[in-house]
A and B are shown apart, each in its own frame.
Chain A
Amino acid sequence: MRSIYYFGTCLVDLFYPSAGLSGIKLLEQANCRVIYPHEQSCCGQPPFNSGFRDEARAVAIEQLKLFQEPHDLVVPSGSCAGMIKHHWVELLAGSEYESAARELAARTYELGEYLVDHLHVQLEDKGQPTTIVLHTSCSARREMGVAAQGKALLAQLANVTVEVPAYETECCGFGGTFSVKQPEISAAMAQDKTTHIAATGADQFVCGDSGCLMNLSGTLEKRGIQLDSSHLYDFIWERVQ
Chain B
Amino acid sequence: MNAKANFTDAAKTALENPTLRSNFRSAMDSLRERRAAQFPDEAELDGARDLASAIRSRALNSLSDNLVELEKNCLANGIQVHWAETTAEANQIILDICQRHDAKHVIKGKSMVSEECHLNDFLAQHDIEALESDLGEYIVQIDGETPSHIIMPAIHKNKKEIAELFAEKIPGVEYTEDVDTLTAIARKVLRHKFESAAVGISGVNFAVAETGTLCLVENEGNGRMTTTVPPVHIAITGIEKVVPKLSDIAPLYSVLTRSATGQHATTYFNLISSPRREGERDGPQEVHLVLLDNGRSKIYNDEQMRETLKCIRCGACMNHCPVYTRIGGHAYGTVYPGPIGQILNPQQYGIDQAGEMLSACSLNGACGEACPVRIPIPSLISELRHEATRNDQQGRVYGQGALRKLHEAVVWGSWKWIHQNPTAYRLMGFAATRLRKWVPDSAMGPWTRTRVKPALAPKTLHEMMKERGE
Cβ-defined contact, B362 with A174, below 8 A? yes
Q: How far is the CA of A51 from the CA of B365 in the complex (A)?
A: 17
Cβ-defined contact, A41 with B451, below 8 A? no
Chain B interface residues toward A at CB < 8 A: 8, 11-12, 15, 21, 322-323, 326-327, 359-366, 368-369, 379, 382, 385-390, 403, 408-409, 412-413, 415-416, 418-420, 422, 425-426, 429, 432-433, 445-447, 449-457, 459-466, 470
Within 8 Å of chain B (Cβ to Cβ): is A130? Answer: no
Cβ-defined contact, B365 with A47, below 8 A? no
Cβ-defined contact, B416 with A50, below 8 A? no
Cβ-defined contact, B412 with A47, below 8 A? yes
Using CB atoms, name the residue of chain A closest to B389. A51
Within 8 Å of chain B (Cβ to Cβ): is A215? Answer: yes
Given A50-B412, A58-B420, A222-B450, the answer on whether A185 and B15 have CB atoms closer than 8 Å is yes
Cβ-defined contact, A189 with B359, below 8 A? no
Within 8 Å of chain B (Cβ to Cβ): is A13? Answer: yes
Using CB atoms, name the residue of chain A closest to B466. A38
Using CB atoms, name the residue of chain A closest to B16. A184
Cβ-defined contact, B389 with A183, below 8 A? no
Q: How far is the CA of A190 from the CA of B461 in the complex (A)?
A: 28
Minimum Cβ distance to chain A for residue B418 (Å): 8
Q: How far is the CA of A20 from the CA of B461 in the complex (A)?
A: 7
Cβ-defined contact, B412 with A173, below 8 A? no
12 A-B residue contacts at CB 8 Å? A13-B460, A14-B429, A16-B457, A52-B409, A53-B386, A142-B366, A142-B368, A178-B361, A184-B12, A192-B326, A218-B451, A219-B450
Interface class of chain A by DSSP: helix
Minimum Cβ distance to chain A for residue B112 (Å): 24
Question: Which 7 pairs across A and B sit closest by C-beta, in order of nearness?
Answer: A175-B362, A218-B451, A51-B385, A183-B446, A171-B364, A142-B365, A138-B364
Number of interface residues, chain A, beta carbon within 8 A? 69
Interface class of chain B by DSSP: helix
Q: How far is the CA of A196 from the CA of B156 in the complex (A)?
A: 24
Number of A-B residue pairs having CB atoms within 8 Å of each other in the complex: 181
Which residue in B379, B415, B447, B457 is a CB contact (below 8 Å) of A55?
B415
Cβ of B445: which chain A residues have Cβ within 8 Å of it? 180, 183
Using CB atoms, name the residue of chain B closest to A189. B322
Chain A interface residues toward B at CB < 8 A: 8, 10, 12-18, 20-21, 24, 34-36, 38-42, 44, 46-55, 58-59, 62, 90, 138-139, 141-143, 169-171, 173-176, 178-192, 214-215, 217-219, 221-222
Cβ-defined contact, B369 with A142, below 8 A? yes
Cβ of A50: which chain B residues have Cβ within 8 Å of it? 385, 389, 408, 412
Cβ-defined contact, B322 with A171, below 8 A? yes
Which residue in B359, B365, B386 is a CB contact (below 8 Å) of A181?
B359
Cβ-defined contact, A185 with B360, below 8 A? yes
Which residue in A24, A55, A138 is a CB contact (below 8 Å) of B365?
A138
Cβ-defined contact, B429 with A13, below 8 A? yes
Given A8-B461, A51-B388, A62-B420, the answer on whether A190 and B451 have CB atoms closer than 8 Å is yes
Cβ of A36: which chain B residues have Cβ within 8 Å of it? 465, 470
Cβ-defined contact, B12 with A180, below 8 A? no
Q: How far is the CA of A17 from the CA of B449 in the complex (A)?
A: 26
Cβ of A182: which chain B residues have Cβ within 8 Å of it? 8, 11, 323, 359-360
Cβ-defined contact, B420 with A48, below 8 A? no
Q: How far is the CA of A76 from the CA of B227 in the complex (A)?
A: 58
Cβ-defined contact, B451 with A219, below 8 A? yes
Using CB atoms, name the residue of chain A closest to B385. A51
